[in-house]
Structure 1
Amino acid sequence: MLIGTANEGRYVLDYPITQWAFACVVAGAVIGLLLNIPMVTQDQGYLPAYVAAAGLTRADPATVSRPLAVAVHHGTALVAALLYGAVVAGLSVVLPTAVSLNGVPLIPHIVGIAGISAFIYYFFARIAMPRFGGSVRDDADEIIRQWALTAFIFGTALALFIPVLVTWL
């Protein structure tokens, strides 16, 4: 991974927004697939995805189908990656962009990763689980801890993958 300055290369705002969005969608799809590994190896597995799907369908998590839970899991990864892309593009206007990782401005990238990771954890822990946990509320503490790990893995993977992926733009 190359570290450079914006004067030596391109930074996010130099990419057409469609290319930047495409890179974020690809990253979200790949990372969503990779997140299957920690989710199936944890004790509570896909329960966060079932809770999120329950919120969308207004059903109890125990009645949500596995295909819907998996679709919500992967859809969430796509939306979170696009939200990260929007945050980075917006922050690139107001924060310093002189230092970059393969064309991704470092400070907006770090702030975007931290912000999106914190947001997806907070949204699940404070909104989705309390409102839509239904029959799995008794395991809420364990499910939220496992979601924290998944959110951290998502952020770390996105932080590493995006600067590599944009080199292929």
Structure 2
Amino acid sequence: MLDYPITQWASVCVVAGAVVGLLLNIPMVTQDEGYLPAYVAGAGLTRADPAAVSRPLAVAVHHGTAFAAALLYGAVVAGLSSVLPMAVSLNGVPLLPHIAGVAGVSAFIYYFFARIAMPRFGGSVRDTADEIIRQWALTAFIFGTALALFVPVLVTWL
């Protein structure tokens, strides 16, 4: 069971999503095709080609996705912590649900982009889809790793 009330846990997840989303700007900007997934996601929302998506919308989609993924992680951890034993915890965050939540959400955001968003909304960038998806896999891994490391530290601050 989580050692935190659900409202506090949700706050931790929102803050973690914000911080990790900001952190992800680094690998996304430094990779050749790194920020294109945000443009593809924006294309899905606007039904436009990724080349027609504005930078502010792409940035908003990127950060919104980080918030949503962190809240999804929080829901997975809260749900699993009620059924899995809490043999080990990281500052009150049960280890097994934490690992399952991070791995599951990272895999989900990769899979959702690679199998749904990119094929449907890739438009003019479909020619480089393989490279974009590979770089998105790295970004999803970095998201999961940063979330896994940051949440147990963040709970001690709030």
**Same fold judged by TM-score > 0.5?**
yes
When the two chains are superposed, the root-mean-square deviation of aligned CA atoms in Å is 0.8
- Cα deviation per residue 1:68-107 (whole Å; 9 max; x = unaligned)? 0000000000000000000000000111112101110000
- Cα deviation per residue 1:91-132 (whole Å; 9 max; x = unaligned)? 001111121011100000001100000000000000000000
- 1:18 Cα shift? 0.9
Moved over 3 A (4+): none
Match of 2:19 among 30, 41, 44: 30
Which residue of 2 is the match for residue 147 of structure 1?
136
Q: Work out the percentage of aligned pairs sharing the same amino acid.
A: 89
**Runs of 5+ consecutive residues of structure 2 not aligned to the other structure:** none
Q: Secondary structure at the match of 1:94?
A: coil
Tell me the TM-score normalized by structure 2. Answer: 0.98
**Runs of 5+ consecutive residues of structure 1 not aligned to the other structure:** 1-10
Amino acid at match of 1:124: F
Tell me the TM-score normalized by structure 1. Answer: 0.92
- 1:45 Cα shift? 2.8
* Distance in 2, Cα, partners of 1:61 & 1:44: 12
Contact 2:4 2:92 in 1 (8 A): no
Matched, 1:83 2:72: yes
Which residue of 1 is the match for residue 113 of structure 2?
124
Matched, 1:104 2:93: yes
Which residue of 1 is the match for residue 32 of structure 2?
43
Match of 1:21 among 10, 32, 41: 10
